Amino acid sequence: MFDIDGTLLDSAQDICGAVQQVISEAGCPPSRATDFDYLKSFIGLHLNACFSEVFPSFNQEQRDKLVADYRSTYLGRRHLQTRLYPGVTEGLAQLGGRKSTATTKGTPTVTRRPSQK
């Protein structure tokens, strides 16, 4: 079993770009909270972890809105900056047996292809 983000796919540009946009639209000026490397450290964690740290005064309802905004923004990016890591295709082809993937993303996010709008 393989994790998708950060193992098979380099999706950090799309993930962090969507988070940066949501944070900016929520009123946070550019700062450490919008820094790519800082945001990249949250990949793999629930979005609440990031939004709670960036907006500590927000209540759960406000954080839920940020999460919904992120999901919409992320889907709108259409995975255009997401890439397979080098060697993934060849490496998986060389492995015998059954293979599977795991992710914390919801089905609509995982199944959307770059060509879909």
Contact partners, residue 10, CB within 8 Å, separation at least 6: 82, 83, 84, 85
Identify the domain containing residue 43 by its residue range: 2-111
Residue at 116 is within a domain:
no
List, for residues 34-51, the tens digit of each pLDDT value.
Answer: 899 999 999 988 999 999
Going by their DSSP bridges, the two strands 2-3 and 101-102 should be labelled as parallel
Residue at 117 is within a domain:
no
The CATH code of the domain that includes 68 is 1.10.150.240
List, for residues 49-93, the tens digit of each pLDDT value.
Answer: 999 999 999 999 999 999 999 999 999 999 999 999 999 999 999
How many folded domains does the chain comprise? 1
